[in-house]
Amino acid sequence: MSISLQHETVLLNEAVEALNIKADGVYVDATFGRGGHSRLILNRLGQAGRLYAFDKDPKAIAAGASVDDPRFELIHSGFEHVATELAQRSVGAVDGVLMDLGVSSPQLDEAERGFSFRFDAPLDMRMDTTRGQTAAQWLAVVGETDLKEVISQYGEERYARSIARAIVAQRTVAAITTTKQLAQLIAAVIPRHEPGQNPATRTFQAIRIYINRELEELSIALPACAGLLNSAGRLVVISFHSLEDRIVKRFMRELSSSPELPARLPIKAVDIPAAKMKLIGRAIKPSEGEVARNPRARSAVMRVMEAL
């Protein structure tokens, strides 16, 4: 079962403005999704400009077929492979990279993807459905301690131990293969949960992050994308939960600061290595109007960095 909801790109204008696009520049949309950012970037580019977009979701790749533009190429790959894929196309440097993290609305709204507890569907959760282990397959074999650590670390769920114990106990009776089974199991274990939030929210997030290696891939992609930037090139990152934003914030802060040197080291200020990047403005969040139109935007945070 699928439902079709209008997909609204989060921070669309703000993100593209932050790229500070040059008409003849080369840009990367590292997370194509349904192409909202890519289409606006193409509108800002001149005939000599170029845009490379990436996505590992086969349905996003299929949706990208509608973008008929010689300046555009959509690549079926995760953003951790951006530098390698561009090198194969003889692209060594770019003028801007946009990373819109998290799960897209179509992924959440298509029941068969298994991302949401709103539907009873196969427990899949893979962003790239052509490869890798499904959430159901992983839950069938993972040890209780490892499962508890995933739920605790990636979901920041305080009842992680109880949930992990219940999942391991349940699979000795019957395999957990659907989103409804998992959501009901979690709801039965958690004594209290945040008002307005489904008790399965944090655990579903944790399993999805683990199955897709989201935080590991982000940690690989950030330095790779920053290393591609020309002078004055910009890295724009939109994150949707605290774990992502913490990684982005720490990474940008480190690159925009001069390296720490041992105390009392006899070195002139002019000889201290300069920072490689500078932060552009403060973190940006969606306006009240955007959140009213698109409640899924409420947790978004955008950070921008420029190469020196």
Binding-site members are 35-37, 55, 79, 100, 107
Nearest 5°: the CA angle 207, 209, 212 is: 105
Distance CA 194, CA 201 (A): 10
Distance CA 133, CA 210 (A): 11
**Which whole-number Å values give the CA distances from 148 to 115, 159, 206, in the listed order?**
19, 9, 10
Q: Which amino acid is at 198?
A: N
Q: Which residues are annotated as a binding site for S-adenosyl-L-methionine?
A: 35-37, 55, 79, 100, 107
Task: Choose among 188, 172, 184, 182: nearest CA to 208.
Answer: 182
Structure tokens at 73: 């190429």
H-helix or E-strand spanning residue 305? strand 301-307
Residue with tokens 């106990």: 169
Task: Choose among 135, 241, 132, 145: nearest CA to 183.
Answer: 135
**What's the farthest any 2 CA atoms get from each other in the chain?**
69
Phi, psi of 28 (to 5 degrees): -130, 125
Distance CA 4, CA 304 (A): 32
